[in-house]
Amino acid sequence: MTLFERIVAREIPSQIVHETEDFIAIRDIAPQAPTHVLVIPKKPVVRLAEAAAADEALLGKLMLGAAEVARKLGLERNGYRLVVNNGRDAGEAVPHLHLHVLGGRAMTWPPG
């Protein structure tokens, strides 16, 4: 099981900020912004590049879920960034698809 599967199964404690039947949103343990939340599907999908057509609805729910989390955390007014890391060179640390919701400060471009 990946770290995120263990969090979803409640084997590892986390600070949950939002949850639905499809995903869990938790505070990142090493935040890169004042607000940094991970939106993690409960169904394990290794990474975006390995998502299948059958995952289309889940991917949409993750995007809408990230927007709901941002609203809930008050990020909508000034903006926020969504990040998906796909592969080691992109910064993927856990082989389980997830979205990073980052906000609470001005973001720079280009990232990384």
The Cα-based distances of 60 to 10, 28, 65, 106 in angstroms read: 24, 22, 8, 26
Query: Is 98 an active-site residue?
Result: yes
Q: 3-state DSSP call for residue 88? A: helix
The secondary structure of residue 110, as a DSSP letter, is S
Residue of 18, 36, 98, 100 marked active site = 98
Please choose, from the candidates 85, 90, 94, the residue with its C-alpha nearest in 3D space to the C-alpha of residue 3.
94
Catalytic (active-site) positions: 98
